[in-house]
Amino acid sequence: MPKIESSFLDISRLDALASQRTLIHGLDPRAKIVTTLIFIFIVVSFPKHEVTALVPFTLYPVVLIALANLPPGYLFQKVLLAAPFAFFVGIFNPLLDSEVLIHLGPVGISGGWVSFASIMLRFGLTVGAALVLVATTGMNGIGAGLEKLGAPNSFAVQLTFLYRYLFVLTDEAARMVRARSLRSFGIKGTEVKVFGYMIGHLLLRTMDRAQRIHQAMLCRGFTGELRLPVPLKFSWRDMGFLAGWSSLFILMRLVNIPQWMGLLVTEVLG
């Protein structure tokens, strides 16, 4: 039970972070959504053996984390939580690509290890940018922004409800585990068969509660549209944010900044 309730509080922390009032939080969701999509598209467009050119892209999430007053340790933990998926995707690359591409002194590094490092770095950048977007905008803002950008209303509403359903699911699971603990003595009630019954009841209880929540929303005037307390208004500040970061992303895509800086330093010292 403590693990389930702590997970509930952990999920709700993103909502708490999104409710802050900072310069980044005050931007129009559409500006942040489009900027994040451009960032992700450019990051994944690099060749599989590119690593150094990706390093400058860490500037975007780092700057937003600092300006939005977000806890970097918390976001880093979330990235690590999903990291095994990318790890198992790229860990076999060294076996498939053994040709040496880089020499660090007497040590030769194969193309497989380089591509593995590139996969992990791109994963960290894209997932980190997505987490920053959620932590500075909130799912309601993201849904409303997607709808204003032309996404189908049903998609935006379902995306928001899917996120909210996690809270219903976690709350009902915590209730069931608490009830089982109060009725259990020793190892009684911990059999696999009992947990199988609990999963089935959890599905039924969450569906029933979700239906009650939907009826309550209809009683309060819900018409299938996402509404924010403050109407969305795209300002010149939002345009500057979008244009400025997008231009920087394109520049970093066209120019290998670390390599250029290395050549510049070499010429100066030479």
Token pair for residue 52? Answer: 């150094």
Side chain identity, residue 195: F
194-198: average pLDDT: 71
Q: For 104-145, what is each residue's pLDDT tens digit? A: 667 777 777 888 888 999 999 999 999 999 999 888 888 888
**Dihedral, 169, 171, 173, 177 alpha carbons, nearest 10:** 180
The rounded mean pLDDT for the chain is 81
CB 253, CB 42: distance < 8 Å: yes
Closest CA to 143 of 3, 133, 247: 133
Token pair for residue 181? Answer: 């603990």
More confident residue, 11 or 144: 144
Give me the pLDDT at residue 4, please: 46
Residue 66 pLDDT level (bands cut at 50, 70, 90): very high
More confident residue, 270 or 199: 199
Q: What percent of the chain has pLDDT over 70?
A: 87
Three-class SS state of 108 = strand
174-202: average pLDDT: 69
Residue 1 pLDDT level (bands cut at 50, 70, 90): very low
Closest CA to 46 of 158, 122, 133, 148: 122
Token pair for residue 115? Answer: 């591509």
Residue 168 pLDDT level (bands cut at 50, 70, 90): confident
| Residue 106 DSSP one-character state | T
